[in-house]
Amino acid sequence: MRDWRFWVAEQRGTLLAFGIFVVMFIIYVSNHPAGFNSNVVQTASNKAVLLAFVAMAQTLIVTTAGIDLSVGMIFTLTNCLASWIVIGAPLETAFGVMGVLATGAACGAVNGAIVIFGRLQPIVATIATGAIYFGIALALRPYPGGGVNEDLAEALTGKIFGIIPASLVVLAAVVLIVWVPYSRSALGRAAYAVGSSEVAAYMSGLPIRRAKFLAYTLSGLLASIGGLFLTFFTYTGEAALVSGNNYTLFSIAAVVLGGVSLYGGTGSAIGAIFGALAFRTIGDLLFVFDFDPLWQPLFQGVVLMLAVSLGALALLRVRNRLEWFR
Amino acid sequence: MSDATSTQNGRGLLELVRRTDPAVAMAFACIVVLLLVGSLYSANFLSPAYLLQQLKVASFLGVIATGMMLVILLGHIDLSVPWVVTTGAMMACAASSFGTLGVALAIPFGILCGVLLGLINGFGVAYMRIPAMIVTLATNAVAQGLMVVYSGGFSPVDFASPPMRYLATAFTIPGVPNAVIVWAVIGAAVVFLLTRTTFGRAIYGIGNRETAVYLSGIDTRRVVMTAFAIAGGLFAFGGVLLAGYASKAAQSMGDDYLLPAIAAVVLGGTSILGGRGSYLGTIAGVILITLLQSILSVMQVPEFGRQIIYGVVIVTMLLLYGRSPKVTS
C-alpha cells in the first residue's frame, strides 16, 4: 500500500499530463467529423511523435537543471542530413539512418562538452551552438528538397496490422530501448542527482561529468530520431529557421505540461511525451470546432498560459513565505 | 557594480583599471580586434560615417538589450522578445492611422502595449512563482496570437507615423543619428536607475539572493514585476523604432532580436544567473554583435557561413571570459 502511494507521488506530473492528454483527445475525437477511427489516430500520432521525440530530448537536459535551446536546430539539421543520405538500396539506407543518428548524438555531445568542460551556462551555450547547427543545416539544404527511402518512410508512418500507427510503435520502442534503461542506470540516476544539486552530487562521489555528458549525447540522439521522422513525413529536407525555433519553444512547453520541473531533478520523459501529445491535440482542437484558423495561435497561447498557471496552485501549499524563493 | 562610483583623486586612472570588470575590458578588446579585422578587408571600416551607421543599427538592438539586461540581472530571462517587439511596432503603426491624435499617441501607445505584456510576465514570475522561461514563452504565444488575429496573418498596411520615422532615421545633431541619441538617453536613465536608486540596488540584490532582499524589508515581488514591465516597454519601444526605420511593421520582425539580445547582454559580462553586470558591458556586447553581423555581411559570407561563424565566435568569446566557477572547488 505504501509503495503504491510513493509511486503515485513520484509520477504525479506524468499522470496529470496523461490525464490532460486523454481529456483533450476525447474532446478532439468526439468532435472530429470522421469520428474515432484508425486514420484519425494515425494522422494525429504522426504529427505528435515529432514533438514527442524533441520533448524527450529536452527532458534529458532539463532534468540535469539545464535547458537546451539548440534542440530544434539539431532536429532541423538531422532532417536536412537525412534528406541526403537516407535513400537508395536497403543497405545504403541503413547506413544513412545510422549516420543521421550519429550526427545527432555528436551535436548533443558537443553541447555537453561545452557545458561540462567549458563551464558555460547551458542556456547561452546552446543559443550559440544552435546557430552553428542551423548554419550547417542551411549549408546542406539552401533550398528545400532531397528525398528519402519511400518504402521505409511508408512503413514507419503507416499502420501496423491496419490499426496501430507505426510511429507510435517506434516511439514506444525508443522509450523502452533508450529512456527506461537510462533512467534506471547509475549514470541516469546521477544525472537526476545533478539536477537536484550538483554540489551534493559531487560531494557524494557521483560521476557528475559522465552523467551530464551521457544526458546531452542521448538528448542529441533523440532529437535526431525526431529529425529522421520529419523526413519520413515530408519526404524532403528543409532548413527552416521558424520551424526549428518553434520546436525548441514547443519542447519546453511540452516538458512543463508533462510535469518536468525546469529547476531540474524531477520528471520523466514519459510525462514529456504526454505533454507533447496534449500540446499537439490542443493545437488541433480548433480545426475540429471549425474556427477560423487565424485564431489558432491565440487559442494555443491562451491554453498554454492557463496550463502553466496551474503551476501556481503549488503556492496554496506554501506555509512559510520564504518558500516562495527557492 | 565595479564601476559604480567614479574616483576623484590622482590615482583615479589606476583605480579605474583595477575596478574595471575584466569581462567588459575583454569585450571592448574584441571590438577593437573586429574593427582591425574589418579594416584589413576594407579601409571604410574605420571611417566615421561607417561607424556612425553601425551605431545607428546597434541602437535598435541596444534598446532591446537594455530591457533584457534588467531581467537577466534579476536572474530571470525573457523569451517574449519576438512578439512584444512586433506588438509594439504593429500597435504604434495602427494608432498612427487614427488622425492627428493617433499620430501623437502612436509611440506611447506602442510602448504601453509592451508594458502590459511585461506586466503579465512579471505577475506570472513574481506573484505566481512560475519559471520566467515558461511564462514569457506563453506571453510570446499570446502576443503572437493577438497580432495574427489583428493583422489577419499578413503584414499590416498601416505606415509608421512621422514622429516614429523622425526618431529612427532623422538627424537632430548633424552627423549623429537620432536613434543613437535615443539609445544614449535610455542608457543613461537605466544606469541612473541601476546605480542610484533603491529599486536598482534591489534588482542586483534579487539576482544574488531574493530571500535576503525580502528579509531586508523590500517587496521583492513588486520589484520583479516592475522590472519585467519596464523590460516589456523597452522591447516594444525597440519595435517602434524598428517600424520607424522600415516605415512599417511586419510579421516576425522581432524574431531576429531574441538571441542577439541575450548574447549581447551575456557577452558584456552580465552573469546569466543574475546579480552581476554593468551597463557598460551591455553597450560593448551590443556593439560587438552588431559589428560581427555587419562584417560578415560586408564580406559577403553566405548565410550558412554567417550562422556558423556567429555561433563559433560567441562560444569562443564566452570560453575566454564567461566561464562559471568549478563545482569541485
Per-residue model confidence as pLDDT tens digits over B93-112? 998 888 888 888 899 999 99
Instruction: For CA atoms A232, A234, A235, A239, give the dihedral sign.
Output: negative
Does residue A292 sit within a domain?
Answer: no
CB–CB contact A128 B153 (8 Å): no
Tell me whether residue A322 is in a domain.
no
Going by DSSP bridges, is the β-strand pair B176-177/A164-165 parallel, antiparallel, or unpaired? unpaired
Cα–Cα dist B28/A203, whole Å: 39
Q: Which range marks the domain in which residue A236 is found?
A: 14-29+38-285
Q: Answer yes or no: is A261 within a domain.
A: yes
Residue A202 included in any domain: yes
Q: Is residue A301 part of a domain?
A: no
What is the residue whose three cell numbers read 519546453?
A: A252
Burial pattern B309-320, b for ≥16 Cβ within 10 A else e, equals bbbebbbebbee
- Chain A positions touching B272 (Cβ under 8 A) are 121, 123-124
Q: What does the alpha-carbon distance between residue A216 and residue A106 come to, in Å, rounded to a whole number?
A: 9
Average pLDDT over residues B155-183: 84
Mutate to test the interface with A, among B223, B327, B328 (most CBs of A within 10 A): B327
| Angle, vertex CA A58, rays to CA A213 and CA B254, nearest 5 | 120
pLDDT digits (tens, 9 = 90+) for A88-107: 888 889 999 999 999 999 99
What CATH number does the domain containing A259 carry? 1.10.3470
Residue in the block written with cell 517506434: A170
For residue A308, being part of any structural domain is answered with: no
Report yes or no on A273 lying in a domain: yes
- Identify residue B34 by its one-letter amino acid code: L
Q: Which residue among B128, B308, B327 places its CB closest to the CB of A136?
A: B308
Say what the pTM is.
0.87
Yes or no: say if B55 and B220 are a contact pair by the CB < 8 Å rule: no
State how far the alpha carbon of A221 is from the alpha carbons of A244, A279, B301, in Å.
16, 22, 30
- Residues from chain A that touch B315, judged by Cβ atoms under 8 A, are 114, 118, 120, 125, 128-129, 132
Interface contact B211-A299, CB threshold 8 A: no
Residue B329 pLDDT: 59
Whether the CB-CB separation of B27 and B268 falls below 8 Å is answered with yes
pLDDT single digits (tens) B49-85: 888 889 999 999 999 999 999 999 999 999 899 999 9
Mean pLDDT of chain B: 88
**In angstroms, rounded to a whole number, what is the distance separating the alpha carbons of residues A254 and A272?**
6
Q: CA-CA distance, B321 to B22, in Å (whole number)? A: 8
* pLDDT in the model for residue B1: 43
Tell me if A323 is assigned to some domain: no
Residues of B in contact with A132 (CB under 8 A): 307-308, 311-312, 315
Which residues in chain A are closer than 8 Å to B214, comparing Cβ atoms?
321-322, 324-325
For residue B149, list chain A residues with Cβ-Cβ distance below 8 A.
294-295, 297-298
Contact B139, A295 (CB under 8 A): no
Helix (H, G, I), strand (E, B) or coil at A304: helix
Considering only CA atoms, give the Rg of chain B: 20
The whole-number average pLDDT for the span B300-308 is 87
Q: What are phi and psi of A145, to 5 degrees?
A: 170, -160
Q: Do the chains contact at A252 and B310, CB–CB below 8 Å?
A: no
**B241 pLDDT tier (thresholds 50, 70, 90):** very high
Q: Give chain A's residues under pLDDT 70.
A: 1-2, 326
DSSP A310: G
Count structural domains, chain A.
1
Interface test with B, best of A64, A116, A138, A199 (most B CBs within 10 A): A138
Mean pLDDT of B261-271: 90
